Amino acid sequence: MTGRLDIPGFRPFHAHVASREKISESFVRIVFASPEFSRLGTDGCDQRIKILFPLPGGRWGDPHLFDPESVAQGMWYQQWKALDNDDRNPVRTYTIRKADPENGEMTVEFVSHSNPGPAGTFAQQCRIGDEVVIIGPDASSRHSDLGIDFRPGPSRHLLLMGDETAVPAISSILEHLHDSAWQGSGLALTEVPRKSDFRTLRMPSHFRMYQTATDGHKGASLLERLKTLAASGAAGFTPDRDQTGERIADVEDLSDADFLWEVPPQGPDDGLYAWVAGEASMVRSLRRFLVGNLGLDRHRIAFMGYYREGKREI
């Protein structure tokens, strides 16, 4: 889009459920529709959004959410925080699986997890026509790529790793790389609850994808697969430094944090760039191995440990 404006990158879109499909045992694909999506950003990759879910009775707590001034100033979050608890619509973070402004649609893939909060419950129970408010990228803004953390820069060797919540983002990244004729090689490692959740994706020809099913301990199969690939030399990991000294501090400084969000501005060179997302303790153990054991510089890796088993998002 030409002539993009210096306005907030995200805006609220009032949308409704157009279709709901269980695509595998653990995933539900929902297509949301809205005439407002004609100005939905399409920067793609791991573009995150916020979804506000209705309060009981289908209520929306913020009467000023769509006031033109509030939209123009990007005030939704400050307004949401200022509300009484009872008036705050539950909000959760998701990834755009497909943005289709021409048809006024956006697709999101929801994990059906065993301890669902408002988002998981909505995904399991929603009907055609049910409403949500999506805080998503505004194509009119020059900041519409705000919620994108996959920034490989000049890298020509990629590693993508994640649990089931990261599968929509990894799927979208792989398709984006394929469709943009990206030249390079890479590995995608995903862990999903069941083998029946494995999927076939469009990806660049020099990419290999390994899918594992959780073996009761989240992240264990991913870590094992990573160790095997590293030991075989097939992954082509080149240490940035030897495994002594400062790396200990690098690895341990975040060990007590609940969540882990450490995202470099972009890949620093044409070597490895890695993107790792999912449950926080799983991401932390992958970080220990990549930075601590393999000696990779953490500035070439985006770590996003964004939920914690047993803790609600907000």
Ligand X SMILES: Cc1cc2nc3c(=O)[nH]c(=O)nc-3n(C[C@H](O)[C@H](O)[C@H](O)COP(=O)(O)OP(=O)(O)OC[C@H]3O[C@@H](n4cnc5c(N)ncnc54)[C@H](O)[C@@H]3O)c2cc1C
- In the complex, least distance from residue 205 CB atom to ligand X, rounded to whole angstroms: 26
Contacts with ligand X by CB under 6 A lie at 48, 92-95, 109-111, 113, 115-120, 164-165, 168, 306-313
> Which residue lies nearer to ligand X by CB, 252 or 258?
258
Distance between CA atoms of residues 268 and 163, nearest Å: 25
> Which residue lies nearer to ligand X by CB, 120 or 292?
120
> Which residue lies nearer to ligand X by CB, 220 or 230?
220
Across the beta sheet with 260-262, the strand order is 207-213, 185-192, 157-162, 272-279, 301-307, 260-262
Comparing CA positions, the residue from 130, 95, 93 lying closest to residue 109 is: 95
- In the complex, least distance from residue 308 CB atom to ligand X, rounded to whole angstroms: 6
> Which residue lies nearer to ligand X by CB, 62 or 163?
163
* CB closest to ligand X, residue no: 117
- In the complex, least distance from residue 265 CB atom to ligand X, rounded to whole angstroms: 17
> Which residue lies nearer to ligand X by CB, 141 or 214?
214
> Which residue lies nearer to ligand X by CB, 59 or 312?
312
- In the complex, least distance from residue 90 CB atom to ligand X, rounded to whole angstroms: 7
- In the complex, least distance from residue 91 CB atom to ligand X, rounded to whole angstroms: 9
> Which residue lies nearer to ligand X by CB, 60 or 259?
259
> Which residue lies nearer to ligand X by CB, 237 or 303?
303
- In the complex, least distance from residue 197 CB atom to ligand X, rounded to whole angstroms: 12
SS3 per residue for the chain = CCCCECCCCEEEEEEEEEEEEEEECCEEEEEEECHHHHHECCCCCCCEEEEECCECCCECCCCCCCCHHHHHHCCHHHHHHHCCHHHCCCEEEEECCEEEHHHCEEEEEEECCCCCCHHHHHHHHCCCCCEEEEEEEECCECCCCCCCCCCCCCCCEEEEEECHHHHHHHHHHHHHHHHCCCCCEEEEEEEECCHHHCCCCCCCCCEEEEEEECCCCCCHHHHHHHHHHHHHCCCCCCCCCCCCCCHHHHHHCCCCCCCEEECCCCCCCCCEEEEEEEEHHHHHHHHHHHHHHCCCCHHHEEEEEEECCCCCCC
- In the complex, least distance from residue 214 CB atom to ligand X, rounded to whole angstroms: 10
- In the complex, least distance from residue 177 CB atom to ligand X, rounded to whole angstroms: 18
- In the complex, least distance from residue 236 CB atom to ligand X, rounded to whole angstroms: 28
Tell me the C-alpha to C-alpha distance, in Å, between residue 64 and each of 12, 50, 76, 148, 294. Answer: 11, 17, 9, 27, 51
Question: What is the C-alpha end-to-end distance of the chain, expressed in Å?
Answer: 34
> Which residue lies nearer to ligand X by CB, 102 or 309?
309
